[in-house]
Amino acid sequence: MSRFFTEVARVFPDQYLHLGGDEVDFDCWKSNPNITCFMQKIGISSFEQLEEHYIQRLLEIVRTLGKSYVVWQEVFDNNVKIAPDTVVHVWKPPHNEELALATSAGYKALLSACWYLDHISYGSDWKKYYACDPHDF
């Protein structure tokens, strides 16, 4: 991952890198004997701990490259220990509650929940995009 993110940082000059972390399906990890062997090797007993290990490692890599990082709200919702300067990207409802939780925990937050463009239905739904108030939390 270090080599990958070094290349990403070189190719893309942006300050922020989105590290993902949404919709993690532990069944995939459970079914992979290499993953369970790795967990035993480093003393991790749950897939929640593995998720935290992975995210923390990504944050370390990106930090050493002088970049900032964004993670999906599930990382925060799953109580993964993240650095105080992590940006939490809120994409699921109830977005006002999620924004309040993330910001009250001291994190910066990015909102895209109201503008989920691949759920567009072409018609009067455009009104909801203007009705969303990112300050209303």
Catalytic residues: 23
Q: 3-class SS at 31? A: coil
Nearest to 101 by CA among 52, 116, 45, 111: 111
Q: How far does the chain reach from its first CA to its final CA, in angstroms?
A: 36
Contact 76, 88 (CB under 8 A): yes
What whole-number distance in Å separates Cα of residue 104 and Cα of residue 1? 31
What whole-number distance in Å separates Cα of residue 68 and Cα of residue 48? 24
- Residue 88's φ and ψ, nearest 5 degrees, are -95, 120
